[in-house]
Amino acid sequence: MQVKSRLVAAFAVATMVVAACGGSSSTPAPSTGGATQAPATEAPATAAAVDWKTATSAGAGGVDAVCAAGKAEGTLNTIALPPDWANYGQMMDDFTAKYGIKITNDQPDVDSQTEINTAKQLAGTGRQPDVFDLAPVVAQANMDMYAAYQPVVWGDIPDANKDATGLWINNYSGFMSIGYDASLGEIKTMADLKDPKYKGKIALNGDPLKASAGFNGVVMAALANGGSADNIQPGLDFFKALAESGNFIPVDPAPTTIASGQTPIVIDWAYNNGSQIGPMAEKGVDWKVTIPSDAPPVASWYVATINKDAAHPAAARCWVEYIYSDAGQNTWLKGFAIPVRVAAMTTAGTIDKEAQAALNPPATAPVLLTSAQIDAAKALLTSGWNFIEIK
């Protein structure tokens, strides 16, 4: 579907309230924890007096001040935000409508490393991205590129989900899932995909060596077939067997291939599969999304940061304020993604209960892959994922 490459990171789930995850102050690697820190140094209340490139909070002027300054800048440069990924299209539209800040969204379907590469190539031109949405591994490797900023809801974000100074903050997460045309029959498990009636119908979102959805699809298959975080070989064997039977096809699914029926069964993030429910219903297709019951859930948190070389530093900070606001967090939730403030918003009663119920996250915490386990899995895939080329 999208090539937005995201490597696996862990988190914990408690019934309908997801305990947010993150890492230390220098490494965006998820765990669980509570939020105790207060916002950092306050900026002056008068927007004109603020150097927004160095402001670490909205300050006494609050969100109104930073967003007024962002409106004066006029534009926000984003990158790698597919409109149908986790409801980002709605997020961008609503942000522009609320604050009058136009968004220029460059290369919406590229991966996290390309975000960083592009920022370096365009540094100082005015066309460089103002903000990033990154895989944890890529975010960790480029800490010197970010500006620290703490939004007004800083206290709602668990300590484990953020750098102590605000260099990075986990923003949303998701579960691996199977999306499918219900007319094909009910699919509840990875094992169901072996049925011969699914010949030529099963697709995986991306090459596991390049795309996180593909990588995590193999992890999910491994966990469903006796594997573990230390051993994803059963997942590799599972896809080899699906390819040999003809069930697994070398097509990178997209809304067009789903709509045409070319890829009626898709292994992908729940927010990508979930985004197809409405469009498919308009075509008379009942598109279902299931988290397989024969494996622990597989999930990943992602990371929001501000480019310290942002051409529009106030607009960048306004964007951060918006995506962590109740409105922004509920927008992700409506897109079948899990926002980082879900626990605090549930307690406060500001969560969109209908969207939360539609997501219905499993109560079982996923197996956690360490950096070493990810490296080992990638090494195995490098030598073993040569039986099929996903195009």
Residue 374 · residue 382 · CB < 8 Å: no
Specify the amino acid at residue 298: V
Do residues 250 and 344 share a domain?
no
Domain-located, residue 72: yes
Rounded Cα gap, residues 368 and 183, in angstroms = 34
Question: Measuring CA to CA, which residue among 203, 179, 161 is closest to residue 338?
Answer: 161
Count of C-beta atoms within a 10 Å radius of residue 131: 25
> Considering its fold, how many domains does the chain have in total?
2
Tell me the C-alpha distance between 112 and 59, whole Å. Answer: 31
Residue 292 and residue 228 share a domain? yes
The ranges of the chain with pLDDT < 50 are 1-27, 29-38, 40-47
Indicate the pairing of strand 102-106 with strand 75-79.
parallel
Residue-level pLDDT at 21 = 34
Say yes or no: 197 and 275 in one domain: yes
- From the number of C-beta atoms within 10 Å of its C-beta (0-12, 13-18, 19+), residue 287 rates as buried
Q: What is the predicted pLDDT for the residue at 42?
A: 43
Domain span at residue 128 reads 12-173+299-359
Residue 365 lies inside a defined structural domain of this protein: no
Q: Please check whether residue 150 lies inside any domain of the structure.
A: yes
325-332 long-range contacts, CB within 8 A, separation 24+: 325/63, 325/151, 325/153, 326/350, 327/94, 327/98, 328/91, 328/94, 328/95, 330/355, 331/87, 331/90, 331/91, 331/94, 332/86, 332/87, 332/91, 332/171, 332/172, 332/271
What is the per-residue pLDDT for 111? Answer: 84
Same domain, 218 and 342: no
Is 7 inside a domain boundary? Answer: no
The span from the CA of 134 to the CA of 355, in Å, is 24
CATH of the domain at 147: 3.40.190.10
Residues in the chain: 391
* Distance between CA atoms of residues 256 and 6, nearest Å: 22
The residue whose two tokens read 């080899």 is 240
Same domain, 331 and 256: no
Residue 6 lies in a domain: no
CA distance 271 to 161: 20
Please provide the distance, in angstroms rounded to a whole number, between the alpha carbons at the two ends of the chain: 11
DSSP 3-state of 5: coil
Instruction: Judge if 303 and 225 occupy the same domain.
Output: no
Let me know: does 25 contact 44? Beta carbons within 8 Å.
no
Q: Is residue 391 part of a domain?
A: no
Same-domain status, 276 and 316:
no
Contact 215, 9 (CB under 8 A): no
Q: Which residues contact 99 (CB under 8 A, 6 or more apart)?
A: 67, 70, 71, 318, 322
Looking at the fold, whether 185 and 281 belong to one and the same domain comes out as: yes
The backbone region for 87, taken as left when phi is positive above 0, alpha when psi lies in -120 to 50, beta otherwise, is left
Residue 15: what pLDDT? 28
216 and 332 inside one domain:
no
Do 134 and 226 lie in one domain? The reply is: no
Q: Which contiguous run of DSSP H or E holds residue 371? A: helix 371-384
Q: Does residue 91 sit in the same domain as residue 197?
A: no
Residue 122 CA to its chain's centroid (Å): 24
Residue 389 lies in a domain: no
Same domain, 264 and 294: yes
Domain membership of residue 344 (yes or no) is: yes
